[in-house]
C-alpha cells in the first residue's frame, strides 16, 4: 500500500542532457551575435556624430564620407565597406544611408544573417 511513497522524483539523464544542450546552444548563439550588435552600436554612434556636425548641409559627399570613415576608424567599426554607404548631398540637404549585412557561422552549416539599415536626413530639399 505504500508503493506511491517509495517512488523517487526528479529529472532523468536524458532531460538533463537536453536542458544542458539548449543552454549551450543559446549561449553559443549569444556569444556569436552579441559582437555583431556591439559593432552596429558603433555605426549608429558614428552616424549620430556626423549628423550633429553643425555645417553638415554645406559639405560635399566626399567630405561627409571621409568624416564618417574617420569615425569608423576611431571606433573600430568592422564589416561596413564604402559600397555600403549611400550619400545624397545637395545645397541645404544631406541624406546618408548605410545598408549592410553580416553573416556569422554558428557551427557546421548553420549560420545567422543579420541585416542593418541606418541613416539620417538633414536640411530640407
Query: What's the sign of the alpha-carbon dihedral 123, 89, 47, 97?
Result: positive
**Dihedral angle, C-alpha 66, 69, 70, 71, nearest 10 °:** 130
**Among all chains, which residue has been given the C-alpha cell 555583431?**
36
55 with 122: CB under 8 angstroms?
no
pLDDT at 103: 94
pLDDT at 26: 92
pLDDT at 125: 73
pTM for the model:
0.79
pLDDT at 9: 72
pLDDT at 4: 57
Per residue of the chain (125 residues), what is the pLDDT tens digit? 555 556 767 778 898 999 999 999 999 999 999 999 999 999 999 999 999 988 888 899 999 999 999 999 999 999 999 999 999 988 889 999 999 999 999 888 999 999 999 999 988 87
Amino acid at each position: 500500500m505504500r508503493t506511491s511513497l517509495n517512488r523517487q522524483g526528479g529529472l532523468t539523464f536524458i532531460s538533463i542532457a537536453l536542458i544542458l544542450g539548449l543552454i549551450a546552444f543559446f549561449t553559443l548563439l549569444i556569444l556569436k551575435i552579441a559582437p555583431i550588435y556591439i559593432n552596429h552600436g558603433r555605426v549608429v554612434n558614428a552616424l549620430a556624430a556626423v549628423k550633429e556636425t553643425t555645417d553638415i548641409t554645406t559639405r560635399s559627399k566626399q567630405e561627409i564620407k571621409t568624416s564618417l570613415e574617420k569615425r569608423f576608424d576611431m571606433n573600430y567599426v568592422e564589416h561596413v565597406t564604402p559600397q555600403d554607404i549611400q550619400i545624397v548631398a545637395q545645397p541645404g540637404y544631406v541624406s546618408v544611408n548605410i545598408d549592410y549585412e553580416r553573416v556569422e557561422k554558428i557551427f557546421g552549416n548553420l549560420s545567422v544573417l543579420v541585416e542593418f539599415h541606418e541613416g539620417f536626413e538633414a536640411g530640407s530639399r
